[in-house]
Amino acid sequence: EEYDIPTGTILSQMTGMAAGLDASVFPDPYKFDSSRPNLGETMNWNGVTKYVMARDYQNAPRFCPGAGLSVKIATKVCDYFSSHLSDK
């Protein structure tokens, strides 16, 4: 289908919004846990994370050269902010 998107419209890619929410793969999927032993099973825009990080082009044919760095940065940012959250 074709869509007309007006100039100035803010667009966002939302394909990863449900990544890691499959309860059959991730126990307690709605709990943020950056130390999950199976984080490699998460999906991202390039495929399953474990294949992307291994640069396995058979299972993850698209690869962003900055993917590893961006994952490390995002992990540090999330760890920092989540450590400063209060239960109050």
Residue 44, strand partner residues: 47
Quote the pLDDT of residue 23: 85
Phi-psi group of 29: left, alpha or beta (phi > 0 → left; psi -120 to 50 → alpha; rest → beta): alpha
Mean pLDDT, rounded, of the chain: 81
Is the model's pLDDT at 56 over the cut of 60?
yes
Q: What is the pTM of this model?
A: 0.46
- Residue among 74, 81, 76, 86 nearest 19 (CA): 74
Over range 59-86, report the average pLDDT. Answer: 83
